[in-house]
Amino acid sequence: MGKNVVLVGFMGTGKSRVGSILARKMRRRFIDLDDEIVRQSGISIKEIFDRYGEDRFRELESEAVRRVSSMEDLVISTGGGVLIREENVEMLKQNGVLVCLEASAGEILRRVGGRTHRPLLNVEDKIGAIEEKIEERRRFYAFADLSVDTEKGGPDMIAAEVFKAFSDYVKDGRD
Report CA torsion sign: 145, 92, 28, 142: negative
Rounded to 5 degrees, what are φ and ψ at 153? -175, -175
Residue 174 Cβ, how far from ligand S3P at the closest point, in Å? 26
User: Under the criterion CB under 6 A, does residue 19 sit at the interface with ligand S3P?
Assistant: no
Mark the segment that binds ligand S3P (CB under 6 A) among 63-71, 74-82, 100-108, 147-155.
74-82
Residue of 79, 88, 130, 144 that binds ligand S3P (CB under 6 A)? 79
User: Under the criterion CB under 6 A, does residue 81 sit at the interface with ligand S3P?
Assistant: yes
Residue of 41, 89, 119, 175 that binds ligand S3P (CB under 6 A)? 119
For residues 72 and 2, the answer to whether their CB atoms sit within 8 Å is: yes
Of 29-68, binders to ligand S3P (CB under 6 A) are: 34, 45
Compute the distance between CA of residue 154 and CA of residue 175 in angstroms, rounded to an integer.
27
Compute the distance between CA of residue 38 and CA of residue 124 in angstroms, rounded to an integer.
26
Q: Which of 5, 13, 37 is nearest to 137 (CA)?
A: 13
How distant is the alpha carbon of residue 103 from its chain centre?
13
Binding residues for ligand S3P, how many (CB under 6 A)? 10
The verdict on whether residue 173 carries a ligand-binding annotation is no
Residue of 80, 134, 141, 144 that binds ligand S3P (CB under 6 A)? 80
For residues 75 and 21, the answer to whether their CB atoms sit within 8 Å is: no
User: Under the criterion CB under 6 A, does residue 155 sit at the interface with ligand S3P?
Assistant: no
The verdict on whether residue 125 carries a ligand-binding annotation is no
The verdict on whether residue 46 carries a ligand-binding annotation is no
Q: Which residues sit at the interface with ligand S3P, rule CB under 6 A?
A: 11, 15, 34, 45, 79-81, 118-120
